[in-house]
Structure formats: structure tokens, C-alpha cells
A and B are shown apart, each in its own frame.
Chain A
């Protein structure tokens, strides 16, 4: 347990001692919101006065595209923040730090959990800042939105980041080449982002793509956040989202820990 605290504390210190890195990681989602969110002004397809039953409103559920994609950006931030958990274990291996830790009584599981934990903390802090930025840029929250809903949003982002960072750590656990890890990350991030409802509704997708989007955790995290922030929540589907995310997080965190026992030492 103290191993987990020590290792997480190390990463946390490294993180807050380099505020520039945090700043850079926030620039990207904010640029996306500013350019992509504003330029793809899909709301123009449904000008004011469009009847409530029109195509755009039914498809997107909201009347402005910016709010729609800004919530998707929260998932974007989580996805990119968690991706580096795998990278960091590769560096620890390369630089010999991993071997040093493996020779101490600290448990193998705490090595993996610390990577997951720090990724989760970073993801949630960044998502919080992006949410504030989105509100400033014009995100319109629903009338029903309240602090409890906000908590719900972070709970869903929490589950999503636990699952995703465990997934990326599990992929990286035996690798000592950061090039491989980079390639894997690049291969995975765009499909995970685009084959989800983060930027576009899945109902517009061809069947095969929608089938993938429906097993993509990003879809569930975004849906939960969107329902809680923008809409009057449909509780059945919010519950569904949480069930899916909870299972996803538990399964992959479990896999990560099992793999760490088996494969951290070669």
C-alpha cells in the first residue's frame, strides 16, 4: 500500500513540477473546440424556429453542435491522458527504474496501479479544466443540471479512465521499446475517438461502424456525460452507461493486475 502511495506521489510530483506539460496537453482539446466545434457549425442546418421534430434535433438531441462536441471533448481528454500511462511504464523499464522497484518489497500490483491512478488523476483534472473552458466558449448546460449531475459526470469519466489506462498499461507491460508503444497509441486513439459518439451521433454511422461504436467505452462515457450536462437524463440509458463503464473498468484493471504479476519481470 505504501508502495502505491510512494509511486503515485512520485508521478504526481513530476507532473505538478512541470506545469508546462499540463498547459500543452490542454491546448489541443481547446483548439479542437475553438476550430472544429465552431467551424463545423452544424447547428446552421436547423436555424432558430425549426420545429422540435426536425432531423437535426432528433439526431443530435441538442440544438447547438458546439455543446454537443464540447462534451465529447471530455472523452477526448480522458483518452489522450490515459494513453500515456503505457508510455510511462516503458520509460521506467528503459531507464532501469522498474528493475529497481522490482527489487524492493513493493508489490507488483502497486506498480501497475500507480500508473493507472496517476493517469486517472491527470485525466480528471484536465477534463475539469476543459469543461470550464467549454462553458466559457459557449457550452449550454441543461436547465436540469446540478452539482449531483456534475459528480455523476466525473464518476463516469473516472470509470472510463480507469478502464482505458489499465488497457494501455496492459499493452505496454512487456515492451521496452517506446517506438512500438507510440505506434500502438497512434493506431488506437483515432479509431477510439471517431468510432464513438464523441463527435457525431452513432445513428448517422453505417451499420458496421455503429456496431464498433457500441462496444467502444468512449461512447458510453460520452453518453453519460452528455445526458447529465446537456439533456434531461434518460435514467435507463444513464444506468446502462454506468454498468458498461463499471464492467469495463473492473475487467481491465483486473487484467492489468494479473498481467503485472505474471509479466512485469521477464
Chain B
């Protein structure tokens, strides 16, 4: 077989990829494939190994063990081949603040050895696409967070990559700007027929945008599938109930008796139930409570989210996680610069 990717349709093939820093296993025997044309998301809290994985796949860091092929090139033995066929939009704002938008784009173009006339043409086209044409001759210092992100996107695309790596592409941006940035990303993906590999710790973002998601925790992939399948794997909706007074064992017995209730766990002085079809089950729960002469004080029905999937696979909620000092510092710089 000459070209693995052509046979399988996989643009990225990773097997047992591992990176250790001293004692710490930042990425621990990770294996997965990314198909041509999909948006593949790496979801996890800070310090889970997302950026380290991107760094290895983009040949910025060398793996400690394992193999990976990107666009048919081995990351260890054909790093140059990988570099020529990928684009990277790092988490940080890497455009030089003292230079103008167009100067930054032309600088990156030169790093890819793109001849000047061609570079100008592409820079022009990209600046138009991300609507920075009017700001092209202003120094990046004067850009807002959203404009900077768009410029970073343009910089990542100047070499027309087959695979675009996006590391936390909307970190620190407000909700509206995030949505706008994602519109641009989708537009660019259509325009250039790329495969996207992205990391994020925004659950909704991963849910809405990615074709498939790998949930990563402590350097290991704990779940990998489409967002819909992952959520369905929880087995139903989440209903939380609280009653006036101390709940008794009778109540637990009673709700367990309802056929569509699959799981009951005590939570916050009440119960957290996993049920099939929350809307139809809720009245049955209510009846059960009334039957015991108890009074319901609170009820909530939630469709499963990726956070619940994360909670289910790791035992922790992702929203509560904190990263290492170094991660937090890098993110703080990025967030500060995202503000206009």
C-alpha cells in the first residue's frame, strides 16, 4: 500500500501516541482516526492533553512513543511533508502586534516559501473572506479579539492546507463573536475542502460543530463518537427532584417502580433520575410523590449534554476543572488579548 489515506479515507491516523514530561503522562497511548472532510473535536478540561496532542500532530513536539500519520505523512519521519500539508491556528494570538494584518499574512506565506505574487493574491482573497480587507493596513494592535481570531484563521490557511488544526479557536471571545468566528470557519472549510481537527473545552461548541468528538481526560480518550451517539449512550434524560422535608426510602422505592426510570441516585438532598423521555415520565413521578403524601418542591428535566457524558465517564464535571499553572497563564494571555 502506497497511500494509506487514499485507501481508507482517513486523513489522520494515530496509534498509541504518547508524550511524557518526566513523570507526567500528558498524552497516554491515544489512538484514533480522522476521516477526510470531517470536523473532529478533542474535548476535555485544561491540562487533559489536548494541546500536547495537537503539538505532536503538527510536528511542534516529538512524541515519546507511538505513531501518527497526517495527510499520509509520518509525523516522525516525514515532518516536512506534514508541515507542508497542514495549517495551525494556535490557541494564542500569534500575529505580530507591531505589524499590519497584510504584513503578518505575507510573513507566514514566506515561511511556506510561497512566491510573492501568489502570496499577495492569496492574502487578498483570505482577507476578503474573513472581512478584514479594510483593516489590512492597520497594525494588529488596533484589532478587536474577533478580528485577531479571523486574522489567525487567515494565517493558518495561507498555504491551502489539507488539514487545519485549531487549538481552542474561540477562547476568551464573547458568545456573539464566537458564533461569528464559527461562521467563518465553516465558510473557509467549504471554500477549501479541508478536514478540521479542533480542541475545545466549550461543551456546546463541540456539540454543535463537530461531526465526531473524542473526550480526553488525563491524557486518555475516554469516549469517541458523534455527539448524538455519546449523549444517547447515557440512556435517557436527566430528571432532578426535591421534596419538602427529608426524602424517605419509600420515595426511592416508588420512583424505581416506574418502568421508564432507569437509574436513581441521591443528589443535593433529592434524587437524580435517568429516565427515558423526561416529559412523559415527569407526571408519573409526580403521581408517585403525591401517593406518598409528599410535596414536590422542585423538578427539572434536562436533555443529556456532553458535560453529563463527561461526568459519566470520568466521575467529574468538566466545568469545574482547572489546568496547570502554565496552561492557565497561556490562556490568561490569550483571553486578555481577546478583549478589544
* Interface positions of A (Cβ within 8 A of B): 2-3, 5-7, 9-10, 13-14, 17-18, 94-97, 99-106, 176, 265-266
- Are A96 and B330 in contact, with the CB atoms below 8 A? yes
Q: Which residue of A lies closest to B80 (CB)?
A: A105
Interface string of B164-192 (1 = CB under 8 A from A): 01000000000000000000000000000
Complex Cα gap A9–B108 (Å): 12
The B75-113 residues at the A interface (CB cut-off 8 A) are 80, 83-84, 86, 88, 90-94, 96, 98-99, 103, 107-108, 110-113
B58 on the A face (CB < 8 A): yes
Complex interface: chain A residues within 8 A of B21 (CB): 266
| A95-B333, A103-B58, A104-B83 as given contacts; A2 in contact with B110, CB under 8 Å | yes
Complex interface: chain B residues within 8 A of A17 (CB): 98
Known: A95-B94, A95-B333. 13 other contacts (CB 8 A): A3-B110, A6-B110, A7-B111, A13-B103, A94-B333, A99-B94, A100-B88, A100-B94, A103-B60, A104-B111, A105-B113, A106-B111, A265-B60
Of B55, B108, B165, the contact of A104 (CB 8 Å cutoff): B108
B260 on the A face (CB < 8 A): no
B262 on the A face (CB < 8 A): no
| A3-B110, A6-B107, A9-B107 as given contacts; A97 in contact with B96, CB under 8 Å | yes
**Closest-CB distance, A5 to chain B (whole angstroms):** 7
Of B84, B91, B98, B112, the contact of A96 (CB 8 Å cutoff): B91
Closest 4 CB pairs of A and B: A96-B92, A6-B110, A104-B111, A103-B88
Complex interface: chain A residues within 8 A of B88 (CB): 99-100, 103
- Are B60 and A102 in contact, with the CB atoms below 8 A? yes
Complex Cα gap A9–B104 (Å): 11
- Are A95 and B92 in contact, with the CB atoms below 8 A? yes
- Are A266 and B92 in contact, with the CB atoms below 8 A? no
B62 on the A face (CB < 8 A): yes
**Closest-CB distance, A174 to chain B (whole angstroms):** 12
- Chain B residues bordering chain A, tally (CB within 8 A): 33
**Closest-CB distance, B134 to chain A (whole angstroms):** 21
Q: List 14 A-B contacts (CB under 8 A).
A: A2-B113, A3-B110, A6-B111, A10-B99, A10-B107, A13-B103, A14-B96, A18-B98, A97-B96, A99-B58, A102-B58, A103-B59, A106-B111, A265-B61
Complex Cα gap A103–B330 (Å): 18
Of B62, B90, B103, B112, the contact of A99 (CB 8 Å cutoff): B90
Complex Cα gap A17–B98 (Å): 8
Give the residue among A94, A95, A106, A266 with the most B Cβ atoms within 10 A: A95
- Are B111 and A266 in contact, with the CB atoms below 8 A? no
Complex interface: chain B residues within 8 A of A6 (CB): 107, 110-111
Q: Which residue of B lies closest to A14 (CB)?
A: B98
Of A3, A18, A94, A176, the contact of B111 (CB 8 Å cutoff): A3
Complex Cα gap A5–B159 (Å): 18
**Closest-CB distance, B125 to chain A (whole angstroms):** 20
Of B83, B84, B110, the contact of A5 (CB 8 Å cutoff): B110
Complex Cα gap A102–B94 (Å): 12
Of A3, A7, A18, A99, the contact of B55 (CB 8 Å cutoff): A99
The B204-220 residues at the A interface (CB cut-off 8 A) are none
Interface string of B44-87 (1 = CB under 8 A from A): 00000000000100111110000000000000000010011010
Complex Cα gap A95–B330 (Å): 8
- Are B93 and A96 in contact, with the CB atoms below 8 A? yes
**Closest-CB distance, A259 to chain B (whole angstroms):** 15
Complex Cα gap A5–B116 (Å): 13
Complex Cα gap A105–B58 (Å): 11
Q: Which residue of B lies closest to A5 (CB)?
A: B110
Q: Which residue of A lies closest to B86 (CB)?
A: A103
Q: Which residue of A lies closest to B330 (CB)?
A: A96
Q: Which residue of A lies closest to B104 (CB)?
A: A10
- Are B103 and A103 in contact, with the CB atoms below 8 A? no
Complex interface: chain B residues within 8 A of A105 (CB): 80, 83-84, 111-113
Give the residue among A7, A100, A106 with the most B Cβ atoms within 10 A: A100
Q: Which residue of A lies closest to B51 (CB)?
A: A99
Complex interface: chain A residues within 8 A of B62 (CB): 265
Complex Cα gap A18–B96 (Å): 14
Q: Which residue of B lies closest to A18 (CB)?
A: B98
Complex Cα gap A104–B94 (Å): 13
Q: Which residue of A lies closest to B84 (CB)?
A: A105
- Are A13 and B93 in contact, with the CB atoms below 8 A? no
**Closest-CB distance, A12 to chain B (whole angstroms):** 11
- Are B60 and A99 in contact, with the CB atoms below 8 A? yes
Of A13, A104, A106, the contact of B99 (CB 8 Å cutoff): A13
Complex Cα gap A103–B86 (Å): 8
Complex Cα gap A134–B105 (Å): 42
**Closest-CB distance, B156 to chain A (whole angstroms):** 9
- Are B107 and A266 in contact, with the CB atoms below 8 A? no
Complex interface: chain B residues within 8 A of A7 (CB): 111
Of A18, A95, A104, A266, the contact of B112 (CB 8 Å cutoff): A104
Q: Which residue of B lies closest to A17 (CB)?
A: B98
Complex interface: chain A residues within 8 A of B103 (CB): 13
Of B90, B99, B330, the contact of A100 (CB 8 Å cutoff): B90
Complex interface: chain A residues within 8 A of B94 (CB): 95-97, 99-100
Q: Which residue of A lies closest to B55 (CB)?
A: A99
**Closest-CB distance, A104 to chain B (whole angstroms):** 4
Complex Cα gap A95–B129 (Å): 26
Complex Cα gap A95–B98 (Å): 14
Complex Cα gap A95–B337 (Å): 11
Q: Which residue of A lies closest to B106 (CB)?
A: A6
